[in-house]
Chain A
Amino acid sequence: MTSEPQPVKSDAIYVYDGTFDGFLTVIFDIYALKRKPVQIVSERLWQPGFFETPIHTITVAVKSERVWNSVVTRSNTQVTRMFYLAFASELTGVEMTLYGYLEKLFADTTGAYYKNMLDDHSFELYRMSRKVSHEIRRFHGFVRFQETSDGLFFAAIEPDHDIVSLLAPHFARRFGNQPWVIYDRRRDKGIFYKKPEIHEITLTDKQFDAITGNIPHNLKSEEEDLYRSLWKAYYKAINIPERKNTRLMLRLLPRRYWKYLPEKQ
């Protein structure tokens, strides 16, 4: 007589540190503890409830690596990139979507699950990752550097998704001969580049303006204000008033991005 497989309880809340490694550790623990999640949430967003006893996951590199390797061997580079981008979306519930995807991927015996775009989880992964890659493309254009007196180029951003480190390759390729910083003020972290180094940083002594993200006058390079005002003048001059189409402009350049664009000040 064969015994029925034990139903795995689906009641656990996993709380993790918000990092990608932390999330993969959660996945490892779900399988190790045999307790399915009803919620996976980062510490930052976790609101303790009265009757709940969450499982606090401690990030362990060995665990996350094992999970990641497993994802890599069962899919292809497109899927692994989509997976990472979707995680970076920070959309509510993204962790459960990714867990649902992995559950199917790991249970798959055909070896083709990851290609099936008709599957709900697969498509959701695709949809979320597209949101993020779209924002990355936008920010290739919307980052605005200010030159400091010691030749550093500084830009503040507030993207919807956690993309600052994903912006780095584009700007490193392009601005290889100038040191620069792109700083995500919402997540309080940034990328510092000075050939050949590239680091993730958190600024402790913030010298830029708390509202506008502008660097103070005494730290600006001599020409900074000139080129900034030339750019604003150019932006005005290139517009054709007879073709005014505010709705289209707002769709392409939503108001939430205006804060750090000199031409929209």
Chain B
Amino acid sequence: MDDVFLQSLLLADSTLRLATPLVLAALAGLFAERSGIADIGLEGKMLGAAFAAAATAAVTGSAWLGLGTGIVVGILLALLHGFACITHKGDQIVSGIAINIAVAGLAPTLADAWFGRAGNTPLLQGDARFAPISLPLAETLRDVPILGPIYAVLISGHNVLVYVMLAAVPLAWWVLYRTRFGLRLRAVGENPAAVDTAGISVEALRYRALLGTGILCGIAGAYLSTAHNASFIRDMTAGKGYLALAALIFAKWRPVPTLFACLLFAFTDALQVRLQGVVLPGIGEVPTQAIQALPYVLTVLLLAGFVGRAVAPAAIGKPYDKERPHRV
């Protein structure tokens, strides 16, 4: 019994760790998409930030400086996306693909040239990496039944970015639903012409939304390379940006459900590692690939309206033209 309890705690613990980059990236996508900018470039922004953070941390020995550069790179890539699809009214999907592909090439190229390690950065040690934080009294309380292990294993012992992620969800909710900026942001994603008529700049509002996207992608990337892992590895995002996008859609573009969608997807990931080669009674051996593909299959089913219905922000994907505000 105790063993089952501890096992499920460990499973929950690794779910939380795996969910962190997904939640941060999905919230990043939330800001962009609620403002009417489709963003399939989360993957590239995260990867770019992951490289920048690991490279800076490797050179300076400071994980915090790494986080800073990661955020700067995230913002720059988000602004590039804005430059293409807000300023020049380019196609948002094409711009996202361009960023994903360019970064997938550029990061290993620079890693190769600067560190000579076949597309990776050197291993980070000591302060160059975000270490687990032990919350107060975690060890003392460990022996308290039920709650003690929950506190010690699940709540305590994560690095600071996991807690940042947990704080980011209510913060995103508050910004989106309780501030003037959030109200305008949601309005510009549904009906930019109305926002324009109210005398508010659609372009400036969308650029500010993308700023939020860049910051969150930056943190997500830094988490991957300087907290969850100890270096930048080629293609280390491995589709997490797309998975985050799927979670965002799954959550119907709302912050709190986004957290749960990411936890669900991360749970399938944590589970498939543990289920490798395990024979379940009555089912037999579950192919790990089936569990891996589950989040993608669920998203397709949801989009097709077979499980619930996901309705995107109305103005998503359409560049806003001041002179022809009602063009569809």
Asked whether A and B interact, the reply is no
B residues with CB within 8 A of A:
none
